[in-house]
Structure 1
Amino acid sequence: MNKQITFNLPVKDLNKSKAFFSALGFSFNPQFSNESAAFMVIVDGSIHAVLSTEAFFKSLIGKPVVQAKEANEVVICLNCESREEVDRLIAKAVAAGGRTPHPPEDHGFMYDQGFEDLDGHLWNLVWMAPQT
């Protein structure tokens, strides 16, 4: 089995969402993108997201699209290499129009904070202390 993750997220405004995630340092593969969807590279070769217009997303699932600002089904969690990377990405998310639903949590062995993107999808950034 090829160990890659690609998940799909519905967005209200594809161009604004692309600008938001570009500000966080994510890139887009134009080969797999069009006016209805953008293939976002989170970690090259292993983690990707497809940002889809709500209409296109709905055509894929055949049922109503949950409005993430009102209800959530999932929290997307990404591991970071350091506490500083968590803080840096959170600052970029806020500067690009996202919001933080809670302050950072420092458990000593783990540090995390989340952000809500423009469409209300929840992302959690985590640093875990190396095991000794």
Structure 2
Amino acid sequence: MSYTLFVNLPVKDLSRSKDFFTALGLTHFGASEDMASVVISEQTQVMLLTEPTFAGYSRTEVADPTKTTQTILVLGLENPQQVDELVDKAIAAGAEPVGEPVNDGYRYQRGFADLDGHHWAALCLATPAG
């Protein structure tokens, strides 16, 4: 059985967040005044919800992603060039770099924090020899 994954993220300014993800080359699937869906792949979407709407679904207080990390959202890419292109687009659109690039022969990874402080990483895994 296969599932579709919807990741919900609280955002302060929905319009600004939509513009940010559009600048990364991602498309939107549906939107309302308090939420929008960003298509990552056929099986994965990130739902951007205004903080009050997100709080309505949450059973606990909405965390401030600029002060705590609850999750790191990792986008798997095909090669290091795509990793650099995506992270460079994110930074150009207002994201902040997170950490140092990792290039250990098994993976190439760079991180960034989006406009609301959510931690993202772009990752390319090396193909195992053999």
Q: TM-score, normalised by structure 1?
A: 0.94
Say which of 40, 45, 59 aligns to 2:56: 59
Structure 1 unmatched ranges of 5 or more: none
| RMSD (Å), alpha carbons | 1.0
Q: Post-superposition shift, 1:28?
A: 0.4
* Alignment equivalent of 2:34, drawn from 13, 33, 36: 36
Q: What is the alpha-carbon distance in structure 1 between the residues aligned to residue 19 and residue 63 of structure 2?
A: 22
Q: Which runs of 4+ in 1 moved over 4 A?
A: none
TM-score by length of 2: 0.95
For residues 114 and 14 of structure 1, the distance between their equivalents in structure 2, rounded to whole angstroms, comes to 22
- Between 110-119 and 100-109, the greater mean CA deviation after superposition: 100-109
Deviations 1:38-76 (A, max 9, x none): 011011x11111000000000011431101001110001
> Any idea what SS the aligned residue of 1:101 has?
strand
- Structure 2 equivalent of residue 26 of structure 1: 26
SS class of match (1:102): strand
Unaligned runs of 5+ in 2: none
Whether 2:13 is the aligned partner of 1:13: answer yes
The equivalent residue for 1:91 is 88
- Structure 1 residue 3 displacement after superposition: 2.6
Other-structure match for 1:124: 121
Aligned residue pair count: 129
Work out the CA distance in 2 between the residues paired with 1:128 and 1:2.
Answer: 23
Structure with the larger strand share: 2
How far 1:15 moved relative to its partner? 0.3
* Residue equivalent to 1:75: 72
Q: Hey, what's the Cα distance between the residues in 2 that align with 1:112 and 1:49?
A: 20
